[in-house]
Structures are given as structure tokens and as C-alpha cells.
Amino acid sequence: MLVLIIWHPGLNVTRIYCNRESHEAFKLMWLAYFQTVERVTGQKLSLKAFDIDGIMAVILTDGCAAQALGLGDALLELIPPNNQAFAHTAEEIIQHILCTCWVHAHRYIMNLHHLQDECTDEEFEYLCRFCNIQSDPKLKAFEDFCLTHRSVKIQDWCKQKISHKWLWPSLIKRLSKIPSEDWDLNQADTNLNEGSHPDTNHATGTSLTLLEAIEMYVLFLDERKAAELELAKKLCLLPNRHNTDEHRYMNNGRRAIARLKKTVTVKAKDKKLSDINDQIASLRVTIKDLTQQKQGIRNGSSIPTPVEPVPYNTDLHMPPPSADMAELVRSTLPYIDSVTGSADLSPALCLPSSFGGPMPSMSDIDTIFFPSSTAPSSIPF
């Protein structure tokens, strides 16, 4: 079903039912649409790109090639030749009027998610920034990058886009022949249009024959909408004062900022989750190795690595005594009793009487150090 809406006040003005999606079928639908507008209003629907008095600046579609080329063929028949001197084919003429819905482009036409595993993160970001291409040389460099890439999927993806010469201009503002101000003021998606489908299905039902759907349900729904418009005129309702050009620019800017914030948040979240998953994987490998070592030690199938001994000096030989030490030992030998271990000292070496008495005999050394209450029965030598 081909549904057309006007931007303000966001109302379906045309429904065309068809059970074909061929190039020729869409051409007939577009011709029927323009002819119906002229029959109902008494005036032709002039396009701004081909008529100085035109009011329609942009036609927004979902990216269907048959739909876009069918529109081009219809325009070639409807627009006088003197007003289309700069466009001779369907692909050329629609570049002055056609935009592709951004939502449909990302979901179906560009479909970059399946290419993420075919390239590096930097290359994937480059692919996703195709809408920022600002010149023909940059577009040529982008196409060369895709066509020479090692991934066949990326090459085929780009070849499919190049085969439709109207597609890049309908997606990239800088490459489009639509005036910049008209591009910015135009709605970037067909959400209003797509959102009308559930409302229509709720009112008419589904799985109906073509004639039954039109005569019994859709006609009733359109008459009800027309009655609402007549009532609005009768009650003198004012137009929405929050729907000026300034408000549209502001709302488009807010939506762009919101999309950017969401993209940054999602990328940061994915990066953090990826780092955590890498750490978990590394720790799991470590845990597995340690568990295997533990089981091996318990079962005796593996022996832990011995501790490296600390080096020490095994040379226990004492150095020989000096000559002075040897002479001192020889001089003390005459005073040592080889049996009792006592020695007779020279009077010069005895303690004075003021010390508390004569020097005790060395033979009494046992009683001095071991009183009778504590002395052993005998001291072996």
C-alpha cells in the first residue's frame, strides 16, 4: 500500500492500494496520485525543483528502488521538457526531489551490523560515517576503500549501493541536489507515515480483499477524518503555534543530540562490558590452570617445583692462630694444673686484702660454683 501524508498537520491525504511492487506498478501509482490531486484541487501539484512557483520541495520514500525509479519515470512524463533540461533519466531527475527515510536506511538499506565482524573497529566506524561525506573525492575514496577491502561482503555491499546512482544523494546531504534549507526542514523519517498503518489496520481490519477494504472500511475512515477537518474549520480552531520553522529546527536538533547521546552511551557500555568479559576469560584460564595443579599434587601425578636452596659457605676450617696468640697460650701453660684445672698465680696477680680476703684456691672452685645442696655427686672430666 502506498500512503502519502502532508507534513502539516500530519494527515493521510492519499491511499493507493496495489498488489504489485514492480517498477511499472509504482510508476502508475505515482501518475495516479498526481492526476488525482489535479482533479480534486483543480491545480497541478508543482514541484519546487522544477517550477519557480512550486511548493513541494521533497518527497521522502523508504528506499525501495522500484518506488524511486517509478517516481522518476512519472516525473519525466509530467514535467515539461523545458523544465527538466538538466535531467534526462529517472535516476537523474529524482536526485532533485527524493530523500530516503533515515530509519529505513539504517535498518534495511545500509544494514551495517552484519559487516561488523568483517573489519576492524576503526574500519567499521569509517563505514558508519558515510553520511558525513562532504565531496565527490571523499565519496570516491570511500568507494575505493570498500571495493578493495579484503572482505567480499563489504565489496558486495558497496557494489549494490553504487549500482543505484540515486541512492547516495538521497542519503547524503552534501551529494544531494536538493537545496540545503529544504533538506534541513524536511522530516528525516517516515515515522508519521508508518505510524498511520496501525491506526488504519485498527479501523479497517486485515486480510481483506482489495475492493472490500476500500469500499467498506477505508472510505468510512476517510469520511470520518474529513468530518473532523470540517468541524475544526467551523469551530475556528487555530493552527498549532508550536509547529513553526524555528520549532522544527529546534526539535530536529534535540532529536539529533538525543541520538548522539544514546550512541555514545551504548558504545561506552559495550566497551566496558567487553573489557570485563576479557578479564573474566583471563581469570577463568588462570583458575583452570591452578585447579589442575592442585589436583595433580593431591593425586601424586605431579610434584611441586622444589624451592631453590640459599647458597652458603661450607668451608668450616678456622684460620690458624696468630703468632701473638700462640705465645700467650704458651706463657700460661706453667700455671695450669692438668688434673684439676687449677692454677697457682703469682702474688702479684692476687687480689688485695681490701677485696675481702685471700684469693680462694682454685681447688675449691667446685664448692664455689656448686654448693652442697645443688652440687652433683660427681663431675666427670
Q: Is the pLDDT of residue 293 over 50?
A: yes
Over residues 152-176, mean pLDDT: 89
Q: Tell me what pLDDT residue 327 has.
A: 72
Strands 11-16 and 59-61: unpaired
User: Looking only at Cα atoms, what is the longest distance across the chain?
Assistant: 155
**In 26-160, beta strands by DSSP E:** 59-61, 98-100
The separation between CA 159 and the C-alpha centre of its own chain, rounded to angstroms, equals 26
Nearest to 72 by CA among 44, 53, 50: 50
DSSP assigned state of 43? S
Q: How many CB atoms lie within 10 A of CB 237?
A: 10
Q: What separation in angstroms does the CA of 132 have from each of 72, 168, 185, 235, 270?
A: 26, 11, 18, 47, 24
- DSSP per residue, 111-134: --GGGGGGS-HHHHHHHHTGGG--
Over residues 277-290, mean pLDDT: 92
Q: How many CB atoms lie within 10 A of CB 81?
A: 8
Yes or no: say if 62 and 104 are a contact pair by the CB < 8 Å rule: yes
- DSSP per residue, 21-56: -SHHHHHHHHHHHHHHHHHHHSS---BTTT-TT--B
List, for residues 324-370, the tens digit of each pLDDT value: 776 776 676 665 554 445 555 556 555 555 545 555 555 554 554 44
Yes or no: say if 95 and 170 are a contact pair by the CB < 8 Å rule: yes
Of these ranges, 87-91, 192-196, 366-370, the one predicted with the greatest mean pLDDT is 87-91
Over residues 236-245, mean pLDDT: 70
Over residues 205-231, mean pLDDT: 77
Q: Please, what sign has the CA dihedral across residues 9, 14, 15, 21? A: negative
CA angle 126, 132, 138 (to 5 degrees): 75
Q: Tell me what pLDDT residue 318 has.
A: 61
Under the banding of pLDDT at 50, 70 and 90, the label for residue 268 is: very high
Burial label, 174 (beta-carbon count in 10 A; 0-12, 13-18, 19+): middle
Under the banding of pLDDT at 50, 70 and 90, the label for residue 286 is: very high
Mean pLDDT of the chain: 78
Yes or no: say if 30 and 90 are a contact pair by the CB < 8 Å rule: no
Look at 113-122, 168-177, 291-300, 359-368 and tell me which has the smallest mean pLDDT.
359-368
Cell numbers linked to 96: 532533485
List, for residues 41-80, the tens digit of each pLDDT value: 898 888 888 888 888 899 999 888 999 999 999 999 998 8
Question: Can you tell me the distance from the alpha carbon of 347 to that of 169, in angstroms, rounded to the nearest whole number?
Answer: 128
In the block, cell 704458651 appears at 330
Q: Is the pLDDT of residue 379 over 50?
A: no
Yes or no: say if 1 and 16 are a contact pair by the CB < 8 Å rule: yes
Over residues 264-288, mean pLDDT: 93
List, for residues 95-135, the tens digit of each pLDDT value: 999 999 888 887 766 667 778 888 888 888 888 888 888 88
